[in-house]
Amino acid sequence: MSKGIPTRSENYSEWYNELVKKADLAENSAIRGCMVIKPYGFSIWEKMQRALDDMFKETGHTNAYFPLFIPKSYLSKEASHVEGFAKECAVVTHYRLKNDPDGKGVVVDPEARLEEELIVRPTSETVIWSAYKNWIQSYRDLPLLINQWANVVRWEMRTRLFLRTAEFLWQEGHTAHATAEEAVAETRQMLDVYATFAEEFMAVPVIRGVKTPNERFAGAVDTYCIEALMQDGKALQAGTSHFLGQNFAKAFDVTFQDKSGKLDHVWGSSWGVSTRLMGALIMAHSDDAGLVLPPRLAPIQVVIVPIYRNDEQLGQITEKVNGIRNALKSVGISVRYDDSDANKPGWKFAEYELRGVPVRLAIGARDLENGTVEVARRDTKTKETVPLEGIADYIRQLLDDIQQNIYNKALQHREENTRKVDSYDTFREVLENKGGFILAHWDGTTETEEKIKEETKATIRCIPLDAPEEPGTCIYSGKPSARRVVFARAY
RNA sequence: CGGGAUGUAGCGCAGCCCGGUAGCGCACCACGUUCGGGACGUGGGGGUCGCAGGUUCGAAUCCUGUCAUCCCGACCA
């Protein structure tokens, strides 16, 4: 990027922060740990939301909305759940302010203390399951397939734009089923939905896997996840899906009668992805010139920049551009024509590259004469002059090519940075010098996992669902192992 | 909550050591020339120097306190 911004290789972290700000995606708010998502950033998030929501509905889910506040007693009903979240909860203790007796603004009215504190939801399992108790009586009420789009709060000590913020936006699905098999199938189905979304929309290849007990969601029987590899060799969990067993059903006494009249607790699942996906999107593809957006998620797919010397020329160009815009719009391509006089073409070129617009068309007097347009693509930064005739089909094909190319690049990067390692020395060396995913044998104990984490900062990202059976010995303890698991340092 | 740093114009910074009434770049406004890769010239507007005390004839500068932000840890499905 221009103007003294560090490059990816100099300082990935700083590069990321600057990019988020310069590309007008988000900024830190004055509120501790919170983020302001700016209009451009939010428009990308909206595209993600829409695509995900369509996928949820296709798989039979409906949207609903539950309260922001959770009575403290709800949260404590499921023992491991409360333990997992207790350390990062924002708590509402009072319901009224009053004027400061010393005349200095307002103070919390000590007389307005809540009898029972309210927790700002860190996740909604507890409020939702307390509602499900009343919604479910019979097997005829099942499966219950509900999703909500909401904000949640987790009081993180240290935050990073999009990747970890005190408040974030997400989607959380909560389902109830008559059998364990159905609930597991749901859990796996939603994992696949997430993986498909990541790969086909975000152009980010992911590994589907199951978490170790240590990394499991607080209150789940099994936690599944998709793991992506960022350009700096660190892993990012891009989505999770949990099989809850009967844990929440038991905690909230959610039972149903089956066909034979027998009473049983229902089986649950929950799953979610958050604005963290924005972080994944940014980190997976961007380069030193700025953001690189996959066409399927780009708010503006094509920007048109006129090159002119005077109003007369601009008029002629605009006339030609109107035809192009209509042709592109008619095949469903989103276009912006930037004829603003405020900035020069060179400035606009740089600006739209920074914002990751996949395709840029430049059209000037030369093109008017020749019946051509200059087409520049963001992913490869190449440009060529093409005839105006058939431009819509050409661009549509080009957008598909760009989507595919971005994915291929990310996949190639992941493949080049996924290594089988069989000794602890090599493991440490690879982590230190190369990063990436490391496929290694592990003895299956939390103890070993913790030791490795302490010594190397690497965690087991997941046990891949497609991990082949392969007897070996644990790189740390030397004990037998049935298959390799994925290690990495993570965000 | 520990360790380090920083608060000066919308943004990025210099000035502080050695006290003398605030400056640079970008952005902004006006005019002209420019316009196919972040244009140039000339003129102009904008700041109680984070906040509160103190020292001094005089404080952005020295002292004390305080608040905030950032980085490194601890924390983190």
Q: What does the pLDDT read at residue A462?
A: 96
Query: Residue A363's closest CA among A393, A302, A320?
Result: A320
Stretch among A79-83, A103-107, A123-127, A183-187 having the lowest mean pLDDT: A103-107
DSSP 3-state assignment of A181? helix
Q: Where on strand B do bases come within 7 A of a protein Cβ?
A: 1, 28, 34-39, 68-77
* Residue spans of beta strands (DSSP E) within A367-429: 372-377, 382-387, 418-420
Distances (CA, A) of A140 to A185, A256, A388, A442: 19, 9, 59, 44
Q: Check whether A100 has a pLDDT greater than 80.
A: no
Residues of chain A with pLDDT > 90: what percent? Answer: 80
| Residue with tokens 């590309």, as numbered in its chain | A23
A101: number of Cβ within 10 Å: 7
Q: What does the pLDDT read at residue A107?
A: 77
Residue A217's pLDDT band, with cuts at 50, 70 and 90, is very high
Q: Taking the model in full, what pTM does it have?
A: 0.94
The mean per-residue pLDDT over the stretch A371-384 comes to 97
| Radius of gyration in angstroms for the set of CA atoms belonging to chain A, rounded to a whole number | 26
How far apart (Å, rounded) are the C-alpha atoms in residues A304 and A317?
Answer: 11
DSSP 3-state assignment of A451? helix
Residue A4's pLDDT band, with cuts at 50, 70 and 90, is very low
How far apart (Å, rounded) are the C-alpha atoms in residues A250 and A77?
Answer: 9
**Nearest nucleotide relative to A13: CA against C1':** B71
The mean per-residue pLDDT over the stretch A151-171 comes to 90
Contacts of A240 (CB under 8 A, 6+ apart): A211, A217, A223, A224, A225, A226, A271, A272
**Nearest nucleotide relative to A369: CA against C1':** B36
Distances (CA, A) of A34 to A165, A277, A425, A435, A467: 6, 17, 40, 30, 38
Q: What does the pLDDT read at residue A9?
A: 73
Q: CA of A343 and C1' of B11: distance in angstroms?
A: 18
The mean per-residue pLDDT over the stretch A91-109 comes to 79
Stretch among A4-13, A316-325, A463-472 having the lowest mean pLDDT: A4-13
Q: What does the pLDDT read at residue A104?
A: 61
The mean per-residue pLDDT over the stretch A334-340 comes to 95
**Nearest nucleotide relative to A170: CA against C1':** B77
Q: CA of A309 and C1' of B34: distance in angstroms?
A: 9
What's the DSSP call for residue A344? -
Q: CA of A477 and C1' of B62: distance in angstroms?
A: 61
User: A156: Cβ under 7 Å from strand B?
Assistant: yes
Q: Give per-residue pLDDT as tens, A52-62.
A: 999 999 999 99
Per-residue tokens: A421:
């390692």
How far apart (Å, rounded) are the C-alpha atoms in residues A130 and A125?
Answer: 8
Q: What does the pLDDT read at residue A14?
A: 78
Stretch among A91-95, A106-110, A238-242, A362-366 having the lowest mean pLDDT: A106-110
Q: What does the pLDDT read at residue A109?
A: 86
The mean per-residue pLDDT over the stretch A37-62 comes to 96
> Judging by beta carbons within 10 Å of its beta carbon (0-12, 13-18, 19+), is residue A30 exposed, middle or buried?
exposed
The mean per-residue pLDDT over the stretch A314-327 comes to 96
| Residue with tokens 């829409």, as numbered in its chain | A50
Q: Check whether A32 has a pLDDT greater than 80.
A: no
The mean per-residue pLDDT over the stretch A16-24 comes to 87
Residue A33's pLDDT band, with cuts at 50, 70 and 90, is confident
Per-residue tokens: A141:
């009420």
Q: CA of A115 and C1' of B72: distance in angstroms?
A: 41
User: A122: Cβ under 7 Å from strand B?
Assistant: yes
> Judging by beta carbons within 10 Å of its beta carbon (0-12, 13-18, 19+), is residue A182 exposed, middle or buried?
middle
What's the DSSP call for residue A355? T
Helix axes A446-456, A424-433, angle to 10 degrees: 40
Instruction: State the average pLDDT for chain A.
Output: 93
User: A113: Cβ under 7 Å from strand B?
Assistant: no
How far apart (Å, rounded) are the C-alpha atoms in residues A111 and A96?
Answer: 8
User: A175: Cβ under 7 Å from strand B?
Assistant: no
Q: What does the pLDDT read at residue A1?
A: 36
**Nearest nucleotide relative to A272: CA against C1':** B77
Q: What does the pLDDT read at residue A61?
A: 98
Q: What does the pLDDT read at residue A3?
A: 39
DSSP 3-state assignment of A93? strand
| ipTM, two decimals | 0.86
Q: Give per-residue pLDDT as tens, A434-481.
A: 899 999 999 999 999 999 998 899 999 999 999 999 999 999 999 999
User: A154: Cβ under 7 Å from strand B?
Assistant: yes
Name the residues in A355-374 having a C-beta closer than 7 Å to nucleic acid strand B. 360, 362-367, 373-374
Q: Give per-residue pLDDT as tens, A125-155.
A: 999 999 999 999 999 999 999 999 999 999 8
**Nearest nucleotide relative to A372: CA against C1':** B36
What's the DSSP call for residue A140? G
User: A345: Cβ under 7 Å from strand B?
Assistant: yes
Q: Give per-residue pLDDT as tens, A246-266.
A: 999 999 999 999 999 999 999
Which residue has better confidence, A414 or A11?
A414
How far apart (Å, rounded) are the C-alpha atoms in residues A212 and A216?
Answer: 6
The mean per-residue pLDDT over the stretch A204-221 comes to 95
